[in-house]
Structure 1
């Protein structure tokens, strides 16, 4: 956990100020019982009213100063803790953005959300508490012991007997409760995962009438977390009653033995009252420590999870001396490429060799699981290959800076993803500085103008979270427009026409071919429908991760049995002819 506190280095002055203020607060609280003893011994017993007013006024001044520094310490510690939380959240988010898909698959999206929110909040709360208690608790304990001994060393033997019992009680209770805190965070991950899946998949859940099943699933995760929380809180709940019991018996002992010493003239009444308050301060300081035993272990477990994220080194990173030179812009070359997903028994693709040239449309077709989408994901380095080479513009993608590589690519994913905001904002996501003319042109090529103009506010119409207020085909067209407005060297369409009707599909491909012919961009299209790929300049047929054939539609019909089988399953004999 202390590793995370390095982010407070720029705020060392403010941290020091908090510690000094807490020190002053502790000194003020330690001084008050002595002043009270003086009032009783030298004022009340001797009936010296002016002395009572004098010391009473001084006590009031000490109280005001103590209250002021306590308020300032609370304010500064809360502010520093909030700044710390902001810094760590920003660091975690920035680091996660560098992750490849492999790291996301390993840690999990739900867990990353929990670590960025709940875990950081846990550490933030403990930091605020520690900045105050790490000075106050030892100061009050040690200072209280010194002041108590100064009042009556003999009576201090009661504290010698009580403090070890109190410390042992705290240790026994905390040692049983601490292991459960780490377990709680993992179960919170599970609850977050179930909730996230239920909310994002609500349409599927309702369509299959599985609402009751999801409720049961959520209730199980919720009950599991609740049972663990109840178990740990039940253990930690013993802390306060046990400490109060020990403190009350300590008070009785101090009053009993103190009364005996007063009766023999070895101690004054005011000193006994001060001694009793110092004893309470010592006990309360140990209670503060017990509070830290409750919160610190959970925060420590959270800190470990945060550090796991920050310590995760992305497997995909820029070369030490990246090349920024690209030859023929848009040229994509695969040379004997082999790639396996982590933990897979066999490669997703192997021995892949082909070239996609600028100004041409290269289509990839094949059965489910043939590796079509995988090939596209390898070009922008979402994953790194295990064998062979992928070159863009004549340069190995591993030697290009990721930002430069991806800035030359316009990807339309298989699952269209839209963001909250207007339609124009979603299209401009591809090019932030795009003009209104560029946005309109991209929408026109993507065949989105008709349905956009039919919406109440046109391009300014708001897209709901996840694009739930537009259809699947409209989502795809907006995703295509987002890639088009970027005007990249390479277009990657990952089965991006599947939700379009045949007429819109044909019009979009015709407009796209015209646009890319003028710009000289390279186009790679992954598709399931033969009608989408049959007019391509080059068709690559995949089967079980290997190339079964490369050529044009007519060539493959004659030479590739796999392609002919796909065509025959989708087109009639008249259409094939």
Structure 2
């Protein structure tokens, strides 16, 4: 475990310290038990002293009960400590991800983050629990058992000095050979989870194109590769048991040979030989425990590296100490803005953008696929930072604002907006958790969502399933618009957010915007000219550059791209009619 991850132990340090302490007490009792058994055999039974046998027997029972109690407490403390550690790790990763900008999130796939918060953390949890229990137990057990053996018979103790490093080295060698295969497995887990996630999310497409067999084949391919990697690793680790058993039998035979000769010569008693055999088994089993834990730690090492990647990721965007916490108005200025997803030196998605949008204006943005329309508006709430130049909102560079304050005043309805599991009320209140029922219903009326919501048997208490799959695309878009309006923003951005609604509903939404939120700056990205035709200004983008700005009438005269789109949609539609 590295230092970064161990910081997450926090309030569970007490349990993490007490667990090995109780383990040591448990081991102490277990090491003393064979000694008491030897006394019962060599003194009590040999001399027929029943009183001695009963006395020592009672001490033996007390030791066994204490060992049981210490073991139970150690197990409980280790379980609490490991489970708490895993809980804190999940908490820390989840909170860290909340700080990420889009650029940070782009570094990790969704399935990769899910695997880190599930499989990887489970591996770390198991390794941690075994470390604070078994790694404390095994070395102490080996040491104390060897000391007790030394007190009984020096020759046998010297035998262990040969066996212990030889067996330990062999088992560690086996574990190291398996390690590379375990590392590969977790990278493939990401691919496997991604395949499952894609299949479930796109289940309607899969069924519509009758591609179930292809998806099954793809899943079997990845699953089979994971199986092969695990099989290779487990085949290597499987050598642990036969090597252990062989060593155990050889050691027992040697003990019997040395011990038997010592009994004949009178230098060792029968009970002492029995206790030495028990100590031998304790030593060998402890070595096997160490190897088992070593394998688990190596499995967890790959998981540890993957978790550390997330925890040490530096959020691209951080608030300044003197960050501005109030956005005065919805004025927007793009000043010689260049942007590349790869940072400086990368291919520019936005090239020398210069725009001035007055507060309260309605702005339309149009352009072909890949013209960077979505990229442009993502600069405003600072979902990405500009590579060069600056974006100003309300007269201040967006980088001067407190991120939460800025985004509270810039409501954005993304192309791929989603609804969450819960009621319609709960989904809309993402815009303002303290909003009343009347406020929720009002914004739904503005977004033209009130009508279909009231048609549901449960109305606004209707449950939305995960991803909003029980409402249509147009209904989902209108609910997302209502959610954005509930924030009462100074800037409202609709990123192609009315593409799934009919033209009449689209017109009613825009009419409500003009009448109900005249002071809010409204930016509408659309593929339909009709959605932006009445905007105060229309921005035409092509290849990441602004190639035209003006009203619809002005652009029809001066901009060929806009004129072509207009004629293909408006005049083409008229001819079709």
Compute the displacement of 1:6 (Å): 2.5
Match of 1:300 in 2: 301
Match of 1:251 in 2: 252
Query: Where do 1:125-524 residues align within 5 Å?
Result: 125-324=126-325, 326-327=327-328, 329-342=329-342, 346-517=347-518, 520-524=519-523
Structure 2: unaligned runs, 5 residues or longer: none
Compute the displacement of 1:361 (Å): 0.3
- Structure 2 distance, partners of 1:326, 1:412, is 19
- Structure 1 distance, partners of 2:72, 2:27, is 13
- Measured against aligned partners, the alpha-carbon deviations of 1:121-179 in whole angstroms (never above 9, x if no partner) come to 11111111111112211110010110001011122233233223212221221121111
Kept after mapping to 2: 8 A contact 1:325/1:395: no
Match of 1:553 in 2: 552
Runs of 4+ in 1 over 6 A off after TM superposition: 573-576
Query: Where do 1:59-98 residues align within 5 Å?
Result: 59-98=60-99
**What is the CA RMSD across the aligned residues, in angstroms?**
1.5
Kept after mapping to 2: 8 A contact 1:158/1:254: no
Match of 1:565 in 2: 564
- Measured against aligned partners, the alpha-carbon deviations of 1:535-574 in whole angstroms (never above 9, x if no partner) come to 0011111111111111111011011111111111111179
Tell me the secondary structure at the aligned position of residue 411 of structure 1.
strand
- Structure 2 distance, partners of 1:13, 1:106, is 36
- Structure 1 distance, partners of 2:156, 2:2, is 40
Match of 2:31 in 1: 30
TM-score (norm 1): 0.97
Kept after mapping to 2: 8 A contact 1:254/1:276: yes
Query: Where do 1:81-120 residues align within 5 Å?
Result: 81-120=82-121
Structure 1: unaligned runs, 5 residues or longer: none
- Structure 2 distance, partners of 1:389, 1:289, is 58
Kept after mapping to 1: 8 A contact 2:327/2:406: no
When residues 65 and 574 of structure 1 are mapped into structure 2, their CA distance, relative to the original with a 3 A threshold, is: closer
Kept after mapping to 2: 8 A contact 1:181/1:298: yes
Kept after mapping to 1: 8 A contact 2:326/2:406: no
- Measured against aligned partners, the alpha-carbon deviations of 1:32-90 in whole angstroms (never above 9, x if no partner) come to 00000000110111111110111011000010011011101101110111111111100
Kept after mapping to 2: 8 A contact 1:102/1:342: no
Tell me the secondary structure at the aligned position of residue 571 of structure 1.
helix
Match of 1:2 in 2: 2
Compute the displacement of 1:325 (Å): 5.1
Tell me the secondary structure at the aligned position of residue 154 of structure 1.
helix
Kept after mapping to 2: 8 A contact 1:356/1:524: no
TM-score (norm 2): 0.97
- Structure 1 distance, partners of 2:164, 2:368, is 74
When residues 353 and 575 of structure 1 are mapped into structure 2, their CA distance, relative to the original with a 3 A threshold, is: farther
Tell me the secondary structure at the aligned position of residue 154 of structure 2.
coil
Compute the displacement of 1:320 (Å): 4.1
Tell me the secondary structure at the aligned position of residue 156 of structure 1.
helix
Tell me the secondary structure at the aligned position of residue 53 of structure 1.
helix
Compute the displacement of 1:387 (Å): 1.1
- Structure 1 distance, partners of 2:305, 2:322, is 33
